[in-house]
Amino acid sequence: MTVSLASHRQSPRPSAAGRLESSAHGGPAHLPAPLPPPRLVPQAEGLLQIHTAPFRGSFATVFSQALRTAGLGSRVLVSQFLKGGVDQGVAGSLRLCGRLEWLRPATLQCIDTPLTLSPLQPSTYRPEAGSGGVASAGVASAGLVSPHEAADGELATASALAQTLEAVAEVWAYSRTCLLEGSVDLMVLDELGLAIELGYLAADDVTATLERRPAQLDVILTGPSMPAALMAMADQVTQLRRAP
């Protein structure tokens, strides 16, 4: 009995390069369908914005924006460096809308005094003494302060300024940590430039920190006296003017 063997054509097999080789009998090679290009998920790029004015009053509009942003679910930090009066500090920061933290320095009054001290003279005028009263023993009734009172005044002023400096530095240290860690989505730094001008913050430290901010973080600086270095870094600058 004769048995005939039917020839079987070999099926294509994948090669090392992922292509299908041609069959043993020279059939056409079958290439796989090309893969779709990878989809890149766009990420929002944060902006450094400045709202400045020759007067102290550019904060209200930005604060409204911060409240809306927090209401929409973003994490917001508002730091006011010179607005005291509530003895707040980091431990007593306020929480609004669930996601907005409002921070002010632990001082009993707003800050508008330069950090640099000018020595008091022994003949410092004291208006409350009046023209007919005696300021202290050995001092004529011309409303003058004795050298001992002047020395006590210097110590009291120096102590108050040291406490104020510590309070502002605490607000900046907390804000700086949140900025570098990217723990918020929007950060508002009110009167940052004025705090630098008055001597409570170092301009180099502030500039270097803002240059290292995460790419997705929005930062808004408000207030007068913005240094030129910060103005040059800004992506957007809004200058407010009073109508004549």
Is residue 195 assigned to a domain?
yes
85 — pLDDT class (breaks 50, 70, 90): confident
In a domain, 40, yes or no: no
- Distance set, CA 62 to CA 27, 65, 126, 128, 170 (Å): 71, 5, 41, 41, 23
pLDDT confidence band for 169 (50 / 70 / 90): very high
Residue 16 domain flag: no
pLDDT of residue 203: 95
Q: Answer yes or no: is 169 within a domain.
A: yes
Q: Which domain holds residue 188?
A: 50-112+121-239
Q: What is the 3-state secondary structure (H, E, C) of 138-194?
A: CCCCCCECCHHHHHHHHHHHHHHHHHHHHHHHHHHHHHHHHHHHCCCCEEEEECHHH
Per-residue confidence at 29, pLDDT binned at 50, 70, 90? low
With a cut of 50, say whether residue 93 has pLDDT above it: yes
Count how many domains the chain has. 1
**Residue 5 placed within a domain:** no
Of 12-21, 71-80, 81-90, 154-163, where does mean pLDDT reach its minimum? 12-21
Which stretch, 88-92, 107-111, 207-211, has highest mean pLDDT? 207-211
pLDDT digits (tens, 9 = 90+) for 44-59: 789 999 999 887 777 8
pTM for the model stands at 0.68
Of 65-79, 96-110, 115-129, 179-193, the poorest mean pLDDT is in 115-129
- For residue 82, being part of any structural domain is answered with yes
Is 43 a member of any domain? no
178 is a domain residue:
yes
Q: How confident is the model at residue 212 (pLDDT cuts 50, 70, 90)?
A: very high
> CATH number of the domain that 102 lies in?
3.40.50.300
43: exposed, middle or buried (Cβ count in 10 Å: 0-12, 13-18, 19+): exposed
